[in-house]
Structure 1
């Protein structure tokens, strides 16, 4: 028998077959659609163009000397900030801004909680009342403010005419010319235009609470107030947080209501920091930009403090 025709030894039955060399798995080729950049790129570009670039320009403008016609006259450094903090009305404006923000947001949330709870119930005409609530939201905020301004006008306003005809006042009153009466009316209008969004946000939160939770509370003998305080409010916390943060930002930066009713006057007695910055633009654009930077820092600080306090309260609740 030759070597070429020799019989190869057969493996034993209990012997495992020889292992084949393992091949490295091929990595799937990632297409451009699998990369996150094409998807988040437009959002990043929008943030840069709409948020970051205007903030940069605002800060840069606050360090320049700019004439009222818009021509740059040179570098001002921090002179515009020194001039701003030397303004005699700045302290009163910041104080009124904080009072304005907290009052409007507090009243809006309180009334919206009641309205959301009402609209969550089943009653005849619920759909119509829900649609009616959208009206202040659908209308222009500036037009709403101007409408109230006409109503409160000293000579031809509906309110003065009605009060005089009913004999409740001896004569017409300048409601918006006196800060003592202008501020409450401005708060009323701001709450009026803020109610729709806040109410619908809280209503959406109420509709996410399972009915089984209320049934279990009823079986346990929980009363209406206990159920609302221990079940509804804690489960409504995410919606409340969203409504509160958005209202804080919107009300703090509110411009149409104040400008449409009083233009911040008389002088700057009813002006918030946003309106005050616009008033300063008529005399010094750089100082107005400095006020805008301070205003931006204040709203960021206000939101951060609120979120910090909310986180502490959530940790304590746990």
Structure 2
């Protein structure tokens, strides 16, 4: 009786050569995972890499307001950008905006995540209620707050006048000293759902056996929280901080809907500043975009370096 062919000889013909289907399978096998990841790589090249390359190229061109290229500009657009009188103030307020919003968001989200991780009546309802700011459009939320803060017909001024807290209506968004706190409050409000659920997911992955072992060892509540909860929550916390840093730094709808960066550039971040420069100089606006991109990358890298994200506790 003839023995069955071995796996190595299964794809060979009578002359010992590899047959067509086996040869094609071998060719695809040599490519490894490339056929599967090629669409994703092409999508990243088209959606991410190519726009960044075009953005950098545009920042070195002299472009009219109508969009006509009038030749190269070298680094003149960057020099013009750095010489803008409002550039330093915009950078300062962008840093304040980012740090304050991210810090307050993380602290409030941590408290809410720990609250939602407990069993209490109505927990499911409150969890669903927190999704509302996330489900609503950021632009719609910002416009809603703008109407609420309106000087003549806003709910806030009407309520405060009725309660005798103020004597005359205030233009809350007309001055930078009152506009910034309100815009930061809206930014925190719309950032809470994602961050809270990220931290809640991290809390729910912590094994209960660890807490039971700490109680047996006689650890107090604060020691358990500081030595067990926070270290094990670190991966989720880092994800929340990084995502919020990127989102808040690049935030545009809230500021534009509420103040449009005014009066002047008093309530502008670098994103709003970039958009307003487009009205006078497209090349300078592109240069501001390149600076924004570089600052985001540097900001995230510094945070990851300081937080030692790839080190285990």
TM over 0.5: yes
Structure 1 match to 2:173: 176
1:158 correspondence with 2:155: yes
Deviations 1:88-118 (A, max 9, x none): 0001101111111010000000000000000
Evaluate the alpha carbon distance shift between residue 314 and residue 59 of structure 1 in structure 2; reply closer, same or farther with a 3 A threshold.
closer
Separation in structure 2 between the aligned mates of residue 111 and residue 200 of structure 1, nearest angstrom? 12
Q: Decide which of 240, 250, 254 is 2:237's aligned counterpart.
A: 240
**What displacement does 1:195 show?**
0.2
1:73 correspondence with 2:61: no
Separation in structure 2 between the aligned mates of residue 121 and residue 38 of structure 1, nearest angstrom? 47
Residue pairs, 1:1-318, within 5 angstroms: 29-30=25-26, 32=28, 35-311=32-308, 318=313
SS for the counterpart of 2:26 is coil
Deviations 1:161-216 (A, max 9, x none): 11111111110001001100000001100000000000000000011000000111
Structure 1 match to 2:16: none
Evaluate the alpha carbon distance shift between residue 234 and residue 121 of structure 1 in structure 2; reply closer, same or farther with a 3 A threshold.
same
**What displacement does 1:35 show?**
2.8
| Structure 1 segments unaligned to the other structure (5+ residues) | 1-22
| Range moving further from structure 2, 68-77 or 228-237 | 68-77
Separation in structure 1 between the aligned mates of residue 233 and residue 258 of structure 2, nearest angstrom? 35
Separation in structure 1 between the aligned mates of residue 290 and residue 310 of structure 2, nearest angstrom? 32
Runs of 4+ in 1 over 4 A off after TM superposition: 23-29
Evaluate the alpha carbon distance shift between residue 215 and residue 172 of structure 1 in structure 2; reply closer, same or farther with a 3 A threshold.
same
**What displacement does 1:39 show?**
1.4
Deviations 1:10-59 (A, max 9, x none): xxxxxxxxxxxxx9966985363773112111111111111111101111
Instruction: Provide TM-score, normalisation by structure 1.
Output: 0.89
Separation in structure 2 between the aligned mates of residue 25 and residue 314 of structure 1, nearest angstrom? 43
Larger radius of gyration: 1
**What displacement does 1:228 show?**
0.8
Aligned length in residues: 294
**What displacement does 1:314 show?**
7.1
Q: Cα RMSD (Å) of the superposition?
A: 1.8
SS for the counterpart of 2:131 is helix
Deviations 1:248-303 (A, max 9, x none): 00000000111111111111111110110001001101000000000000010000
Separation in structure 2 between the aligned mates of residue 81 and residue 314 of structure 1, nearest angstrom? 35
Separation in structure 2 between the aligned mates of residue 167 and residue 24 of structure 1, nearest angstrom? 90
Separation in structure 1 between the aligned mates of residue 49 and residue 310 of structure 2, nearest angstrom? 32
Separation in structure 2 between the aligned mates of residue 35 and residue 98 of structure 1, nearest angstrom? 45
Separation in structure 2 between the aligned mates of residue 98 and residue 174 of structure 1, nearest angstrom? 25
